[in-house]
Amino acid sequence: MVDTLVFAVAALVILVGAIGVVWSRNPVHSALMLVMTLFGVAVLFVAQGAHFLAAVQVIVYAGAIVVLFLFVIMLLGVDTAENLSAEPLAGQRPAAAVVAVASVGLLAVLAVRAVQVSTGARSLSAPVEGGRSNIATLAEVLFTDYVFAFEVTSVLLVIAVVGAVVMARRPRPDGEGDELGVECHAEAEPEAEVA
């Protein structure tokens, strides 16, 4: 009974947060709704007994990634609501509708196929209750088999931050300060002649 209640509350929090991410016009509010969604997923991980994944969910995703999103949003100065009535790319809304329908159809096909292939046979990869901890197994796989993907992801995140900083820089026109100085001197000279 308690498990069902925890699942229902966490699922409601996740759904409300996900809908808020999509419907919010302000990017900062969208990022905060994403934090709410990620915390709901962390609660589901705790309910399943995956405490390590819950901690990673809160520390890495709700902490670091969303803070990175907020940093980029504030750096680029896009923390104001956008005008959604103007469409910058013609046909983007119908294309998004087609992609959404195709995605829902693909998920339905995968759900039906997953039910058909679930046989209950023993796992061929590794026993669930082995002699090693999940953290040791995860670390071994992450830093041996998937080390290249892990490093590429870290480089991609660094490139994204550097790109955001470069895009946020507003270059000053050349000689902006000189023009102001010349104008001030030009205005000051006639006053000196009058006096």
The conformation of residue 57, written as its DSSP 8-state character, comes to I
Helical H runs in 24-146?
27-47, 51-56, 66-76, 92-117, 134-144
- Mean pLDDT per 10-residue segment, the chain (195 residues): 91 94 86 92 92 88 83 71 67 88 92 70 61 79 86 86 74 53 46 50
The conformation of residue 26, written as its DSSP 8-state character, comes to S
Residue 61 has a pLDDT of 84
What angle separates helix 66-76 from helix 147-168, to the nearest 10 degrees? Answer: 20
Whole-number Å distance between alpha carbons of 58 and 50 = 13
Number of neighbouring beta carbons within 10 Å of residue 67: 12
Whole-number Å distance between alpha carbons of 144 and 132 = 17
In the numeric block, which tokens belong to residue 104?
Answer: 């829902």
Residue 178 has a pLDDT of 44
Number of neighbouring beta carbons within 10 Å of residue 134: 13
Residue 102 has a pLDDT of 95
H helices then E strands: how many in the chain? 8, 0
Contact status, residue 38 vs residue 66, Cβ threshold 8 Å: yes
Residue 172 has a pLDDT of 59
Residue 79 has a pLDDT of 55
Residue 115 has a pLDDT of 67
Q: Which fold has domain 1-80?
A: Four Helix Bundle (Hemerythrin (Met), subunit A) (1.20.120)
- Residues with Cβ within 8 Å of residue 62, at least 6 apart in sequence: 35, 38, 39, 42
Residue 188 has a pLDDT of 47
In the numeric block, which tokens belong to residue 136?
Answer: 């040791």
Whole-number Å distance between alpha carbons of 59 and 5 = 25
Question: Domain boundaries in the chain?
Answer: 1-80, 134-171
